[in-house]
Amino acid sequence: GVTDANPLPGDWIGEMWGAGRRFGGCVIDGGRLYWFLCAKGPADGKDSDTRAALTRATAEFPDYVRQAVKDTPVSAIRRDDIRDRPPVTQWGRGRTTLLGDAAHPMTPNLGQGACQAIEDALALTDLITEYGPTSDALRRYERFRQPRANAVVKAAHQIGRIAHWSTPTGTRVRNTLVRLTPASVLVRQLRASWRLPQTTS
Ligand SMILES: Cc1cc2nc3c(=O)[nH]c(=O)nc-3n(C[C@H](O)[C@H](O)[C@H](O)COP(=O)(O)OP(=O)(O)OC[C@H]3O[C@@H](n4cnc5c(N)ncnc54)[C@H](O)[C@@H]3O)c2cc1C
């Protein structure tokens, strides 16, 4: 959802993990709040009453989260299923290949779908520049990109599973582990995922 009202503290950006549900978001356009709420549900499910469904789904979150959701007009809320699939190792044949979500659809849990699509585009450009518009360049691109992109698909899936643990024991263990993880470990992981691999030999 997107709302003009932003009851969240300051320039808040982040995620809150509840029991089987997650709320997150950030400030956009210098003031509006973009938020998302992930919850388990049947595939292709629809809510007959969006407002009531959101009230139920945000019950465990702080007041300002409930307020943000309440302040968002239903017309500014979009509901989607989230899908991924196990990574595949054939992205193309002959003079065709794929990039982005077509090659490696992933859950948005790491915020990496578009990032990986951009990395694909850069690698493809580099390799076509070096090897010409040939099948060889496309196979080199696939060999270069698959280990990283497919690893991100798996990592995003795993994070989603953990983030959506819903039993009281599971959520307690998860929250304790997250709390005990030193910031330096998170920074190291972020650096690794944001470092742009070099394509050329
Ligand atoms: C809720 C959510 C949050 C996300 N958050 C992040 C984030 O924080 N960071 C991040 O990096 N990624 C994020 N992503 C993922 C990101 O949006 C996608 O990975 C990215 O858009 C993939 O780009 P793409 O070009 O491969 O595919 P798309 O963006 O899907 O582009 C494909 C385009 O092709 C068009 N098209 C389809 N079929 C045809 C056809 N037959 N003819 C012509 N055109 C066609 C479609 O209309 C579309 O415009 C998020 C995704 C979701 C759903």
Question: What is the model's pLDDT at position 183?
Answer: 92
Question: What is the model's pLDDT at position 47?
Answer: 81
Q: Strand 32-39 to strand 2-3: parallel, antiparallel, or no bridges (unpaired)?
A: antiparallel
Residue 58 predicted with pLDDT over 70: yes
123 and 172 fall within a common domain: yes
Mean pLDDT, the chain, as a whole number?
Answer: 91
152 and 184 fall within a common domain: yes
Q: Span 46-70, mean pLDDT?
A: 91
Question: What is the model's pLDDT at position 10?
Answer: 77
d(CA 134, CA 92): 13
102: CA distance to ligand 1 center in Å? 9
pTM of structure: 0.89
d(CA 110, CA 153): 9
d(CA 143, CA 35): 36
Give 102's DSSP letter: G
Half-sphere exposure of 37 (CA within 13 A, CB side): 26
Angle between helices 50-57 and 63-70 (to 10 degrees): 170
Closest ligand 1 atom number to CA of residue 106? 19
Give the count of domains, the chain: 2
108 and 44 fall within a common domain: no
Is residue 35 classed as helix, strand or coil in its secondary structure? Answer: strand
180 and 104 fall within a common domain: yes
Site residues for ligand 1, CB cut-off 6 Å: 36, 100-102, 108, 111-115, 117
| 135: containing domain | 100-194
d(CA 181, CA 107): 23
Atom 3, ligand 1: which residue's CA is nearest? 108
101: CA distance to ligand 1 center in Å? 6
Atom 53, ligand 1: which residue's CA is nearest? 108
d(CA 170, CA 50): 28
In a domain, 36, yes or no: yes
Atom 19, ligand 1: which residue's CA is nearest? 113
Question: What is the model's pLDDT at position 192?
Answer: 84
In a domain, 84, yes or no: no
Closest ligand 1 atom number to CA of residue 99? 26
Sign of CA dihedral 161, 165, 170, 171: positive
| pLDDT above 70 as % of the chain | 99
62 and 106 fall within a common domain: no
